[in-house]
């Protein structure tokens, strides 16, 4: 009997030997050790004043500041996407004037710190008593309004966040559009589709796969960046916490209140990003990895 026949006749199951990664295991235990040490130092140190943390975490004043932070994030994201999309399309336009103006806008607001933009806008009424819309170099006006009444704290915060955010969003969207295979645009043009329809129905849906990861990171940065509007004395989350700990002198526990709320906001946005990216990756990835909930259901189903 040949050696091959001997192996064929042997019905004993093959023994599966698990691969061993000692360095990986050692690194995991070391990381777990560091994590437990940090948790112990935080949980057992009375100077963190966790009782004060519990007292203020769901306080109505804190929740009102949290609501302002969420509203600023929502409006900044919405206007940033709208203006950013228009800027990206202008940058890709064949019109030299539109492309140059869009480039100048993006260059300006990517170069200026958000803090500086907010302070300049807040003091805009010092430069101009009123804002008007009309035909340049004529006395014809269609609209005029007092700057002080038009630009209050909330308006300045939304405007500043939107202006800066739209500049970054425009470059993200432009990069996603450029990343689409040029053959897709040529094929759409060969079908006789108008330029606007090619962009909305063919180019942008494919570009979303490249836009979404970076775009969601910008939204998360914006949610944290709303804390900068404290310079306007606007009662968002961080400013509210500052006012309270300046009055009570309980700095650390109140800073932890803000920390945990920001962690919750960014965690929810990260989970949303994960599911949105999964949705738009359909058709591009043959086998999409199951979610944590799907893995849990599979594990429960497989149990005897």
Burial class (CB in 10 A: 0-12, 13-18, 19+), 6: exposed
Mean pLDDT of 97-105: 95
Residue 177 inside a domain? The answer is: yes
Residue 2 has pLDDT above 60, yes or no: no
Per-range mean pLDDT, top range of 3-12, 123-132, 224-233: 224-233
Please give the Cα distance from 95 to 93 (Å, whole number).
5
Please give the Cα distance from 114 to 231 (Å, whole number).
11
Residue 13 inside a domain? The answer is: no
- For 42-80, letters b (16+ CB in 10 Å) and e give eeeeeeebeebbeebeeeeebeebbebbbebbebbbebb
Contacts with 13 (C-beta within 8 Å, 6 or more apart), sequence order: none
CATH number at 138 reads 1.10.3720.10
pLDDT score at 288: 63
Quote the pTM value. 0.82
pLDDT in tens, 244-267: 999 999 999 999 999 999 999 999
Residue 192 inside a domain? The answer is: yes
pLDDT score at 304: 55
**Is 274 or 261 the better-scoring residue by pLDDT?**
261
- Ranking 81-85, 95-99, 156-160, 178-182 by mean pLDDT, the lowest is 178-182
| Domain extent for 162 | 50-279
Torsion of CA 159, 162, 166, 168, to 10 degrees: 120
Residue 33 inside a domain? The answer is: no
Please give the Cα distance from 250 to 21 (Å, whole number).
47
Q: Could you tell me which residues are beta bridge partners of residue 133?
A: 143
Residue 215 inside a domain? The answer is: yes
Please give the tally of structural domains in the chain: 1
pLDDT in tens, 142-162: 878 777 777 889 999 999 999
Alpha helices per DSSP H over 179-291: 182-190, 195-198, 204-225, 237-248, 251-280
Residue 291 inside a domain? The answer is: no
pLDDT in tens, 152-192: 899 999 999 999 999 999 999 999 888 888 787 778 778 77
Closest of 91, 121, 128 to residue 229, by C-alpha: 121
Residue 25 inside a domain? The answer is: no
Residue 20 inside a domain? The answer is: no
């Amino acid at each position: 009997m040949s050696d091959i026949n001997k192996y064929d006749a042997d019905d004993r199951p093959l023994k599966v030997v698990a691969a061993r990664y000692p360095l990986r295991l050692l690194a995991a235990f070391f990381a777990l050790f560091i994590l437990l040490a940090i948790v112990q130092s935080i949980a057992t140190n009375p100077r963190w004043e966790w009782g004060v943390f519990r007292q203020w975490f769901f306080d109505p004043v804190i929740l009102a500041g949290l609501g302002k932070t969420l509203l600023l994030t929502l409006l900044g994201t919405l206007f940033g996407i709208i203006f950013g999309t228009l800027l990206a399309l202008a940058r890709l336009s064949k019109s030299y004037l539109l492309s140059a103006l869009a480039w100048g806008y993006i260059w300006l607001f990517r170069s200026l710190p958000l803090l500086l933009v907010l302070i300049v806008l807040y003091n805009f009424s010092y430069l101009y008593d009123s804002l008007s819309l009309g035909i340049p170099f004529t006395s014809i006006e269609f609209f005029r309004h007092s700057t002080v009444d038009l630009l209050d704290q909330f308006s300045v915060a939304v405007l500043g966040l939107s202006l800066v955010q739209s500049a970054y969003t425009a470059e993200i969207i432009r990069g996603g559009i450029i990343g689409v295979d040029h053959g897709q645009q040529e094929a759409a043009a060969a079908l006789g589709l108008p330029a606007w329809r090619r962009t909305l129905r063919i180019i942008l849906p494919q570009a979303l796969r490249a836009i979404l990861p970076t775009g969601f990171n910008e939204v998360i940065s914006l949610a944290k960046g709303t804390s900068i509007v404290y310079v306007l004395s606007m009662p968002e989350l961080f400013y509210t916490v500052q006012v309270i700990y300046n009055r009570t002198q309980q700095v650390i526990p109140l800073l932890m209140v803000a920390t945990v709320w920001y962690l919750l906001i960014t965690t929810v946005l990260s989970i949303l990003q994960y599911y949105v990216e999964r949705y738009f990756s359909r058709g591009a990835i043959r086998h999409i990895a199951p979610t944590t909930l799907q893995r849990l259901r599979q594990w429960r189903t497989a149990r005897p």
